[in-house]
Amino acid sequence: MNISGGNLPAMSGAGQSGEVYSAALAKKQQKADGAAALALIEAAGTSSAAQTPAKSVTASLGNNVNVYV
């Protein structure tokens, strides 16, 4: 199996070009993560408004707890 790095974009050179390419990939990933987080927050905000309100709790709820097995 022959693996050569000559066909990789911007990574064929040595030194700073590899660091620049790596930083660009990291920046792109951070932007994607941020967009996904914002979409998740927006989705959570809209679904909570659509939920039905909780039923009212009576005063005697939970007063009698059976602890015997």
Six token digits for residue 3: 């693996």
Q: In the predicted model, what is the mean pLDDT of the chain? A: 76
Task: Say how far apart CA 38 and CA 36 lie, in whole Å.
Answer: 5
Top-confidence residue, 37 or 17: 37
**Structure confidence by residue, pLDDT tens digits, 25-57:** 999 999 999 999 999 999 887 765 456 666 666
pTM exceeds 0.85, yes or no: no
What's the distance, Cα to Cα, between the start and end of the chain in Å?
A: 67
- The answer for residues whose C-beta is within 8 angstroms of residue 44's C-beta and 6 or more apart is none
